[in-house]
Structures are given as C-alpha cells and as structure tokens.
Structure 1
Amino acid sequence: MKYWKSLTLIMAISFTFLFTAQAQNAEYGLSNTVSNLLKSDRSLSFGGYGQIDYNQPFGNNTLQNGNLDVHRLVLMFGYRFSDKLSLVSEIEVEHVQEIYIEQAFLNYSFAHYLQVRAGLMLVPMGIINEYHEPTNYHGVERPLIDANIVPTTWREIGIGFTGIIPEMAMRYQAYLMNGFSSYNGTAQLSGKNGLRKGRQKGAESIMLKPGLAIRAEYYGLLGLNLGLSAYAGQTQSSLFKSLSRDDQTDIARADSSVVSVKMLGVDIRYQRKALEIRGQFYHTWIGNALEYNLFTASNGVNNDLGSTMVGYYAEVAYNLFYRAKFTKTELVPFVRYSAYNTQASVAEGFVKNEDYQKEVITGGIDWTIVSGVVVKADVQLIKPKSSESYSQAFDAGIAIWF
C-alpha cells in the first residue's frame, strides 16, 4: 500500500532526526496508575480509576434505547518489599458484575535504566493500551481502533525488561509473553472480531511458544512524544495438548489451528500550551490465515479472518480555559478522525467484507473539574464501507482517576 510505504519512510526519517536532536529539558509523556504506584515511597499505596457512561444512538427515523453503564471501576494496589522490589496489582470490575485481575506483576529495579518485570502485564502497544485511564484520553469511549485492531485492554503473562534512559530521552520495554488463543474447540479469531476474543488475560493461559513485545518512546523535544511498538508471535491452540511429536497427521491438524501475528504501531503525542495533537497507526499481519479459515469453518461456511488489519486516527484538541484567570478548570473540545479495517487484505479465494472497513468521526468536549475528575460529552459517527450513511450516537460520561 502506498500510504503504508510513505508512512514508514516519514517515521523513519523523523526518528532519525529526533534521536539526534538535543533534548530541551522535556519530561517523559503521560503518566498512569502503574507509574504512580512505582514512584511512591510508601510501603503500601493504592490508586484507581473508573467511568460511568451514557450511550444514546439517534437518527435513522427509529426509536432506540440508550444505555447507562458503570463501565468500569478499578482499584490498584502497590506494595514495596524493598527499595528495589515492588508488587503492582490491578483489580477491575466491569459492568458492575464482571471481575478481572488486569495486572499482577513484580518489578525489580536495578536502576532507572534497567528494571525487570514478571507477571501479568499490559502489552506495550500504542498509547491507549498502557495509558487507558479514562482521564487520559478524549471522549467517553476509547478510540475504536484500540478495540478492533489492538484489543485493549490487552494483557498477558510474561517477563522482560523496561527502563528510562534520560541521556537519550528514551523509554524502552521488551517482554516475552504468552500469545493469543486461536483455538480452544472453536475459532477464537475472525474478521468481525479480529484478535479480540483471543486474549487469554492470564486466566489459565496456554502457551507453546512465547511472543515478543517491544516498545521505544522518545520524549526529547518539548511537548513531543513519539512511540514505536512491535509484537511478533504465534497463537496458541488447545490441539497441541498431549500431542505426540511422531504423529504428523495430528501435528498438521494442530498447525492449521494457529496463525502468526506480527503487529507494528506508530504513535505521536504533542502538547504545547493549549494545543494537543495525537495520532496512532497500526498494521497487523496474519500468517496462515487461509489454512486457519478453512480449518475453523462452521456449518460449511469458512471463517473470515483477514490476512492484514490496519487502523489509524488523528486527533486535535484545544483547552479553551488555558489563559483564563477566573478558573483553574479545563474545557477541551476535540475532534478525531479514525479508520480501520480488519480485512485490509484477505487470503486467496476469499472476498473482503465491506462491513469490516469503517470510518469514524468523533467530536466532543471534556470538562476537567479538578485534576482527576472529567465530565465528557461527544457525538460519534460510524460508517462502514458497505453503507452510504453514518450511524449516530450521543455519549456522555464521568471519568475519575486517583
């Protein structure tokens, strides 16, 4: 694709220039609850975040019910065993009744530039998967590419290294982690849902081979943060359980139930005074999609997992109260254009489903009452390629982070 080649060239030139540029006393970008817990000098520390949403479809001359939801309430606890060893844990309740352990890992710090982590961790892919506290992004809901291309919140069990190198204005992460589940008696991956249903989330996860997740961030120019993320691994399948190495027929069958996943992400954040600009781009390659789709056919109908998936967005926001002397609150209108396609390309002999290619326009306003409390409202327009019109929805919500 021409746009992919152009983007790769532009980002390569940008990174080459920026890594040789002199830092201007810039600080490392966004913070999240994990970073706050690890910075705490208390033996026991805690934090959390949550959101309550109202989603109301409208238009198309039809009456539609709105949806009110305590979308999530999350409590995070950190415990410092020593100056070097800490525990981070995150307990999440979604939709009032679904309980998850979202993170549970040990962090051993040799120095600020070298830390070892092991346990259930977030996969370092893009902005939102790591910085998903609802006060950290504009709009009531997370950007849709961070649900349909990168299956946020994406967490798996693993081990690896992370650190900050101030001299280079750089942060890095590199982990070996268990991969997606592609088959557990039925197909877990598809064109409609992408990789999302394949997340194992640390719950009795299976693994034959680990995947590799890496990320580098550069923050050396004032107000600018650039990120480059990559993931490569093979999915996991229940068919490899107790499989004889000499049984070539069963091995070939099991091989048809897995795919390879390679994902590349590029993101940019710029904030200077009242202006904020963000952008993300993801490209995912799926290997063995043809064999997988044939093997996971149901009722005579082949599965439709794409061979590549692509998503991107660009967003602009502006704090209207930046220079206001009568208030310390923030009032931030924003607009975001997104596009994604879970079937950017398909295996030979398959036809793309135009319902899976969508563009999204989101515009709204966020009012930060005090630091950590934001009232949000937006309108979201979604149009699949198969349609001539946009579906419309009004969203409102309250977001907290402490």
Structure 2
Amino acid sequence: MSSHRCVGLGASILDLGFNSRGAALLAAIALSFISSGSAFGAEDSANEALLKKLDKMERRIQALEAELKQKDSRTPAPQAASIRSANAAASSVEPKEAADTKDPKDAKSKPAAQSAQMPAKPMLQLPPLPAVGDKPILGLADSPVAGLSIGAYGEIKFGAMQNPAANGQWQKGFDAARFVLLPTYAITPNIIFNAEIEFEHAGSGFDNDDKLHGTAEIEQLWIDFKILDQFNWRAPGIDLVPIGYINQHHEPTQFYSVNRPELYNGLIPSTWKVPSSSVYGTISEDLKYQVMVSTSNEDFGDTFDNRTAAKTVPLPGTPYAAGIDGLNGLGFSRPPLGDFQQLNNAVAVSGRLDVTPTFLPGFAGSVSAYFSPNTTPRGAHDDLGNFLGHSSLAMFDAEFRYRVPETGLELRGEYVHAEFSHPENLRANNDSDPTNNVGKAMYGYSGEIAYHVPLGTILNSEWEAVPFYRYTYQNLQSGGFAGTDANMPTGAGQRQFHTAGFALFPSPKIALKATYQHVIDKSITGAMSDSFLGGVGFFF
C-alpha cells in the first residue's frame, strides 16, 4: 500500500509541478520525505508516521490541483496571449543605466524602479506576482508599453515664517509646493523622449471654491538623439540652462534644507527653463560637457496683458515691472515658453563642464557660464518715456560636492557671478523706484557642511539622518547705480543666510526635513524673513 501511494503521489505531484511553481516545490518536499522514509525502512514506527503525513499531503495536493484547473478554465485565451506578448516585448528592450547618476540631462538617468525595460519573464498561464520595486509605472503596474516609464518627485512644506510686509510678524502656513510627473519613452534605443510636467501649490489654476492658487506647466520637453558617447544632440524643446548643480538636479532629495539653497532663489532663477537646443557628451571618464543655444532672458517681469500685439513692452507712459532687479535678482527675467510671446530676438549661449576625478573619490564639481548679448526687450523705456539701449548679461558659476570616503562628512560650496554691460539701461534703474536698483554686477557664495549618520534598519529600510549647516552671502545691489532713478541702494539686496537643520532619509527616495533659517540684510528694518519649516520630499 505504501509503495503504490508513494508512486501515485509522486506522479500527481510531478504532474502538478508543470502547472505551478508552488506545486513543484511541494513535489521536491514530498520526494525528500519519500527518500527519508526509505532510508529508515527498518524503523516501522517512523514509517507509519511518515505515511500519515504523506496521506495528508496527497489530499492537499489534489485539492490544489483541482483549484488550479478551475482557475485555468476561467483565464480567457486572449488574456493569456496578451500576458505572454507583453512579457516578450518587455524582455526585448535593453535595460537602462543605474539610478545613481540622477542626471535629468541623460534620458537613461531615471531611477531603476522607473525603467520600463524589465527582465525576461517566464511564459506561464498566470503572470507571476512582481517583486517590490519591480513596477515601473508609478509603482503600480508593469508598463503596458515597452520603453515607457513614469517617475515623479514632489515636496510638501509647512511651518512658520516672518512676513516682512507685516513688520516681521510670525505666520503659520502650509504649501503643497509641487508635484511633478516625469514621463520618458524610448522611441528607439537611440531616440529618447523626455518631459517634466509640474503642478505647483496644490492646483492648476485660481479656484475660490477649492482654495486653489497654483499652476500647471511644462518644465522640460525634449527628444534626445543618442549618437556617440562623445556627442549627442538634444532637439529644440524646453530644457534647463546648464548653470549650477541644483538648477539641473532640483529634486528635493538632492538638498537637505526644506527650501532650495538660497543662491537658486533669484541670483540663479531656478528652475531656469528656456526654449533651447544643445549638444552634450563624455570627453573622458572624468569629464562631461554640455553646450546650449537658447532664447535670451528678458528684462521684463510683468504680466502677458502688458505685452502689446507688436510684441513690445507697454507704450511709453505706461509703467511696467523689471525682470532684473536688486531685490529678486534674475527671478522674473526668464523668457516665455509659448505662443511666440518673446520680446527679444537675442540668442543666448551657455555651457557646462562636469568633473568627477578618479584620483579623488567622492568629489564632484562643475564650472558653467551663460552669455546673452542683449536682455533689453523691444520698446523698453523709462518712466519718462525715454527708450533704453541694450544691456548684455554674462554669468559664471563654480560649485563642488565632496563626500569624504569612509566617513559621514560631506562638504559643498558654490560661487555665482552675474555681470551687466550697461546697467544704466536696466528697467530697475529707470522705474522711479530706487529700492530695487541694480549695479554693475550681482554675486553670491555659499558653504555647507553635513554629516551622514546611519540609523540602522527600520521598517525594512536603511534609515539615515543628515544634520547640516549652510552659510550664504549674496549681493544683488552692488555699487555703480546708473539711470534716471536716484542712486540710493537700500542694502536689502545684500543678504546673509544662516540655515541649519536636518534631513531624515527613510530611503534614498524620501526625505523628511526640518530647517531653521536666520536672514540678515543691511536695510533699515532688517530682513524680517526668518523661518521654522518642515517638509516631506520624494523622488522615484
């Protein structure tokens, strides 16, 4: 009886194994028990217990076999065929590069979890359950289209800050600052589509009922033609000017404060997006480059309603806001992105060199430059009706990041300088408001120290805390004011920022942040812009 049962059970198990991985595993266990029973044939009592166990196992396997047959009969043939074809298509595309580059300029830089190119999967009647992190479309399901992936980043901010317009009164607040979708599609292995679609401040428009006061915009939109490692072309589209690391890598997991570093809040008008085309590539293992031509920034910071049909600023006699000024830097000078609304024919040129020397592990840096021959918009004038001449803009940026090997210490530093050829022609110096005047140059620098503290495994993830301190100085109102305004610098453009706090990383893709910032300037009242902020950021 025992031999017949063993043979029948083995056959049943092996037959079931062709239909299910789980059954195959049970077969292996059962056969193991069989061999064990043979080895101890002399021990009748042990065999008796073993046969009872095998009898229970046989009944369980028969029940599982019946259940699987029932499921197979309910699976439509077209569905099984579509599963197989999707798996075959996914396995036919090359996988992308690893996520540690995190370079939005490289179409292969999305995190590995985003990649739509999945490894080959077995062609079964029922699809296997995907592993955690093995779902490229927003972490929910396998990509229905080979080559397509969608990532996302975003940040939530809350806390209290001083309001200079209320004499420095502390006010609490909350901001769903941004949510950004990052679709990428490999049209071919060498032609890559990339976009960045951003929703800011919790809504896509102004809505009194839902208390929405936000925007929706295309932040990046381009197609890459991958030719050689040394030379690739980015077709005309919307792209980021290659000035400064955080301008190009502004995801909230890339910096430790709740807000972006201060140099990127006007002096560098992050996110500095422009209509452009560029070439880029790898010069050597240590050196990469990018060269861009783009629409020039404009010295016009007013609404679209104040642009005439002739694509000029308002006619003389009508005031308009400056795009470049001594309080906001270049923050309002970015060129428009749509509907042929540019007020300037000038073409700007910019370039960047990224350095990662192999002889200095943990170090990375860059130098970059930007030049526009003319930022003056058509019809520019002062408040007296006099037309303004041209003024060029040249910028230089140098920065570094150094994670000291085998320690938690990290150092960062940056210097930015902007130069104007004819500041007397800038609107800020001709708008009857001396508080926002601009001199010959603007500049700023910062230094940051951080320390990475591993916290161990919590909730199946390696947590890390990063306390940091950053000092920043910037001068947006250097000497040499000229124009029709009174030469009366206010000191508000000369600011010092002391920023301290920590970022807690439950995963490299999530950052929980807390920041205190103290601001000092040379104005009569002082900056009155201190803040205590918390934040949640993510990037996947």
> Which of the five TM-score ranges fits, normalised by the shorter chain?
0.7 to 0.9
Name which of 158, 180, 195 aligns with 1:89. Answer: 195
Higher mean displacement: 265-274 or 39-48? 39-48
Q: Distance in 1 between matches of 2:168 and 2:279?
A: 53
Q: Distance in 1 between matches of 2:157 and 2:100?
A: 27
The answer (yes or no) to whether the contact 1:274–1:319 under 8 Å persists in 2 is yes
What SS does the corresponding residue of 2:223 show, helix, strand or coil? strand
Aligned twin of 2:221: 104
Answering whether residue 153 of structure 2 is matched by residue 49 of structure 1, we say yes
The answer (yes or no) to whether the contact 2:107–2:192 under 8 Å persists in 1 is no
Q: Which amino acid aligns with 1:159?
A: S
Gaps of 5+ in 2: 1-97, 118-145, 204-214, 301-312, 315-319
Q: Distance in 1 between matches of 2:197 and 2:526?
A: 42
Q: Distance in 2 between matches of 1:279 and 1:124?
A: 17
Shift of 1:52: 0.3
More strand as a share of residues: 1
Aligned twin of 1:35: 106
Answering whether residue 443 of structure 2 is matched by residue 305 of structure 1, we say no
More helix as a share of residues: 2
Query: Number of paired residues?
Result: 361
Q: Which amino acid aligns with 1:106?
A: I
The within-5 A match list for 1:146-185 is 146-167=264-285, 169-183=286-300, 184-185=313-314
> For each residue in 1:15-47, what CA deviation from the matched residue of structure 2 results, as whole angstroms up to 9, or x when unmatched?
xxxxxxxxxxxx998524553655655521111
The answer (yes or no) to whether the contact 1:37–1:46 under 8 Å persists in 2 is no
Answering whether residue 392 of structure 2 is matched by residue 321 of structure 1, we say no
TM-score (norm 1): 0.82
What SS does the corresponding residue of 1:290 show, helix, strand or coil? helix
Compared CA separation, residues 132 and 302, structure 1 to 2 (3 A): closer
Q: Which amino acid aligns with 1:108?
A: F
The answer (yes or no) to whether the contact 2:101–2:109 under 8 Å persists in 1 is no
Shift of 1:325: 7.0
Shift of 1:119: 1.1
> For each residue in 1:58-89, what CA deviation from the matched residue of structure 2 results, as whole angstroms up to 9, or x when unmatched?
69997522110000100011111112111111
Aligned twin of 1:23: none
The answer (yes or no) to whether the contact 2:429–2:481 under 8 Å persists in 1 is no
Answering whether residue 400 of structure 2 is matched by residue 268 of structure 1, we say yes
The answer (yes or no) to whether the contact 2:375–2:392 under 8 Å persists in 1 is yes
Compared CA separation, residues 294 and 367, structure 1 to 2 (3 A): closer
What SS does the corresponding residue of 1:135 show, helix, strand or coil? helix
> For each residue in 1:86-122, what CA deviation from the matched residue of structure 2 results, as whole angstroms up to 9, or x when unmatched?
1111110111121111000111111122111131100
RMSD after superposition: 2.9
Q: Which amino acid aligns with 1:162?
A: Y
Q: Distance in 2 between matches of 1:277 and 1:342?
A: 25
Compared CA separation, residues 212 and 373, structure 1 to 2 (3 A): same
Structure of greater relative contact order (alpha carbons < 8 Å, 6+ residues apart): 1
Q: Distance in 1 between matches of 2:108 and 2:335?
A: 25
Aligned twin of 2:532: 394
Name which of 363, 367, 373 aligns with 1:224. Answer: 363
Higher mean displacement: 313-322 or 334-343? 313-322
Answering whether residue 377 of structure 2 is matched by residue 237 of structure 1, we say yes
The answer (yes or no) to whether the contact 1:182–1:258 under 8 Å persists in 2 is no
The answer (yes or no) to whether the contact 1:237–1:257 under 8 Å persists in 2 is no
Shift of 1:370: 1.4
The answer (yes or no) to whether the contact 2:470–2:498 under 8 Å persists in 1 is yes
What SS does the corresponding residue of 1:65 show, helix, strand or coil? strand
Shift of 1:361: 0.4
The answer (yes or no) to whether the contact 1:44–1:78 under 8 Å persists in 2 is yes
What SS does the corresponding residue of 1:189 show, helix, strand or coil? coil
The answer (yes or no) to whether the contact 1:38–1:86 under 8 Å persists in 2 is no
Q: Distance in 2 between matches of 1:310 and 1:71?
A: 27
What SS does the corresponding residue of 1:195 show, helix, strand or coil? coil
**Runs of 4+ off more than 6 Å:** 58-62, 300-303
> For each residue in 1:355-382, what CA deviation from the matched residue of structure 2 results, as whole angstroms up to 9, or x when unmatched?
1100000000100011211100010000
TM-score (norm 2): 0.62
Q: Distance in 1 between matches of 2:238 and 2:527?
A: 42
Aligned twin of 1:334: 468
Q: Which amino acid aligns with 2:396?
A: L
Name which of 173, 177, 181 aligns with 1:67. Answer: 173
Gaps of 5+ in 1: 1-26, 241-251
Q: Distance in 2 between matches of 1:53 and 1:370?
A: 19
% identical aligned pairs: 27
Name which of 382, 403, 413 aligns with 1:279. Answer: 413
The answer (yes or no) to whether the contact 1:257–1:295 under 8 Å persists in 2 is no
Aligned twin of 1:8: none
Aligned twin of 1:192: 327
Q: Distance in 2 between matches of 1:57 and 1:95?
A: 17
Q: Distance in 2 between matches of 1:153 and 1:173?
A: 18
Q: Distance in 2 between matches of 1:330 and 1:295?
A: 48
Q: Distance in 1 between matches of 2:449 and 2:429?
A: 44
What SS does the corresponding residue of 1:306 show, helix, strand or coil? coil
The answer (yes or no) to whether the contact 2:277–2:293 under 8 Å persists in 1 is yes
Compared CA separation, residues 181 and 62, structure 1 to 2 (3 A): closer
Shift of 1:292: 2.7
Larger Rg: 2
Shift of 1:239: 2.6
The answer (yes or no) to whether the contact 1:329–1:369 under 8 Å persists in 2 is yes
Shift of 1:313: 0.5
Q: Distance in 1 between matches of 2:148 and 2:446?
A: 39
Aligned twin of 1:6: none
Shift of 1:303: 6.3
Q: Distance in 2 between matches of 1:143 and 1:79?
A: 31
Q: Distance in 1 between matches of 2:517 and 2:510?
A: 22
Aligned twin of 1:22: none
Q: Which amino acid aligns with 1:43?
A: G
Answering whether residue 511 of structure 2 is matched by residue 384 of structure 1, we say no
Shift of 1:166: 3.3
Compared CA separation, residues 284 and 56, structure 1 to 2 (3 A): same
